[in-house]
Each structure stands twice: as C-alpha cells, then as structure tokens.
Structure 1
C-alpha cells in the first residue's frame, strides 16, 4: 500500500462509524456546560421513549425520525421556557398503554422489554429531579450506563431500532454516564 492510498482507505472506515462520531459529538457538547447531572436525565428519558415508540410502531427505521422530532421538541420547549416533563411523562404513559393494548409484551424479548425499560429508565430520570444534585446526578449516570448496556444488546441483536441509532445511543449514553460520575467527584 502506498502512502497516497492510505487516506482513501481510512476515510471510508471513519465514515462508516458516523453514529459513533455523532454520539461523541453530542456527548462532548452536553458535558461542556456540565453543572448538574440531573439536567441530563432528559437524555435517558428520551432514549427510552424513542425506543418504546419505535417498538410500538414495529418499524426500526422510524427511530431517527422519532429522535429528530423529540430532540427538536425538547430544544424548542426549553428555549420557550416551557417545562417539557409533563408532556414527556404523558407521552410515555400513552405509548405504554398503546403498546400493552397492541400486544407489545407478546413480541420478541428485546422488543417487549421496552415497556419495563421505559418505566425503569424514565422513572430514574424523573426521580433524579427530586434528589440532591449529587445523588440525582449519580442516579442519572447509572440510568445512562444501564441504557448503554441495553443499546449494546439491541445493536448486537439487530432488533428494536436501527443499528445506527443503537450505536449512536450506546456511545452517547456511556460517555454521558461516565462523564457525570467523573465531573461529580
């Protein structure tokens, strides 16, 4: 291999990892203005909500659209000074009811697991808001790392959501969780 051919082979390998790079970018931006780990609880709540929504729809390819819509909605509500938590919680309850009514629990294990995952990860994010900054931050960090484990399982199984989003989410969740712990100590 000549020196001139090395970059052309490297670029496609890097381009193939765009979800990892995007996750690193989002995590870095999120941790740059870190003050309180509780404030990042919305990330794990949205992750669980997006996974649940995708499972209810039964179409893994819709996950990026759900991610974009939910992220834009969060930013817009935040900029307008509107508390997004009531809407998020209402959305989660609605999706759980739709999922249960639609037989989501009779789906393959990873798909069915999105109902309890929403309850656990979403509940942790909401509970963290009621705790002290340090305790709440550690709870959010644990939930993010726990969701990163789920991301790995979903990525490996090629189920529930598109693999690209699972890869993005596993990087984002793990780095945010570890970052919260490191910055809180």
Structure 2
C-alpha cells in the first residue's frame, strides 16, 4: 500500500470518493424543487396582462370646462385687479393730473422694495401706501408733502445701502424714481392738457418697466408687476383718450 504525502492511502481516497458519490448532493435535491417553483412563477407571470397601459391623463383634463375656465380667470387676478383700479380712477375723469399720484407711488414702492431686497415686501408697502393716502384724503390733507419727503428719505437710504451697486435692474430703480417721480410732480404745475399728457407718458413708460421686471422676475413679485403693468398702461391710454 502506497502512502501519500497527506498521510492517507490511495485506497482510503478511493473509498472516500466512493462514499461521496453515493451521498446525494444538495443541489440534486433542491434544484428540481426550485425549477418546479420557477416554472409555476413563470406561468403566473405569463398569465399577467402585459398590454401597455393607456397614456397618462393630463393634469386637469378630467375637470369640466367651466371649472378650467374659472381657474384660468382666477390665475390672472392681478390683471383683473389692475383693470378694476383703472376703471375706478378713469370714471368721470376730465383731468389726468391727479393720476400722477399713482405713477409716483409706483416708482417709490419699487425703490423701497429694492432697498429692502425682498420682492415679497412690495405688497405690504403697496397696501400701506394706499391706506396712508386714503387716510390723508379722509382728513382732507394733501398727501404730496409726505410722499415727496418719503421719497427723499428712501433715496438717501438706497444710496447709503449701495443699491446703485446691485443688479442692474435693481440699481435702475434709483434713476427711475427721479424720472417718473419728477414727471409726476412736474405735471401738477402744468396746464391740464400738458400735465395730463405728461402723466400719461409717465404711466405708459412705467408700464414698460413693469413688463421688464415681470419677465426678469426681479425687484418685485410677478403678481405686483402684472397688476402695475395693467393699471399703468390702461390708465395712461385712458388719459390720452378722455382728456
């Protein structure tokens, strides 16, 4: 009998191999069952409907047409608000110079918002200015001294805060206040016809700025820019037609 280096005889190795051949392998027991289960799974999968589903329904397509129209109208609420304010100011108008207050406030509010640096602040500033002018009229007080004084203060603060060194559209609010605000104040001292035309030109010019701001989505929120653009443009045209 020959002794192998491992210390086992060749006969032992053969015997061991013979026993290993007689012992059933785990794979021989497990794999047939696995194949049977796999076949069942394949059968189930094949019975599943694999027809491509229909195209997804666009969002809002299931809503009735009147509901979609109302939602579209409600989405444009700044436009309707601007038209309403324009109609209120244009009703019975025979002199456009009082509308100089609107373009002056618009330029002042834009600069105030640029100074703060937060576009969403424009609506609180707008509401505060409307309330302030309303209170002055109820008290039969002239709002112009307070408005001009406020514009001077805001301009000085904007210069100190470095608004002129910010983004171009933000920095332009300083000269815009001087141009539009100066035109509004100057119109008050002119004749009704010339003053009205100057106010109309300032309103239409500010409407152009509103559109630029709306497209850039800077300085003020888009809702205020849309409202102001509609109000300025339509009111300026109304002055040209009615005065």
Structure 1 counterpart of 2:197, from 127, 135, 138: 138
Higher helix share: 1
Q: Which runs of 4+ in 1 moved over 3 A?
A: none
Deviations 1:114-134 (A, max 9, x none): 000000000000000000000
Q: CA deviation at 1:5?
A: 1.2
Gaps of 5+ in 1: none
TM-score normalised over the length of structure 2: 0.74
Higher relative contact order (CA 8 A, sep 6+): 1
Deviations 1:56-75 (A, max 9, x none): 00010010000000011111
Q: Which residue of 2 aligns with 1:12?
A: 71
Question: Separation in 2 of the partners of 1:171 and 1:123?
Answer: 22
> Based on CA coordinates, which of the two structures has the bigger radius of gyration?
2
How many residues get paired? 182
Question: Separation in 2 of the partners of 1:38 and 1:45?
Answer: 12
Gaps of 5+ in 2: 1-60
Q: CA RMSD in A?
A: 1.1
TM-score normalised over the length of structure 1: 0.96
Equivalent runs, 1:15-26 vs 2, <5 Å = 15-26=74-85
Q: Which residue of 2 aligns with 1:62?
A: 121
2:231 aligned with 1:172, yes or no? yes
Deviations 1:12-66 (A, max 9, x none): 1111000000000000111013121001000000000000100000010010000
Q: CA deviation at 1:165?
A: 0.1
Deviations 1:140-168 (A, max 9, x none): 00000000000000000000001000000
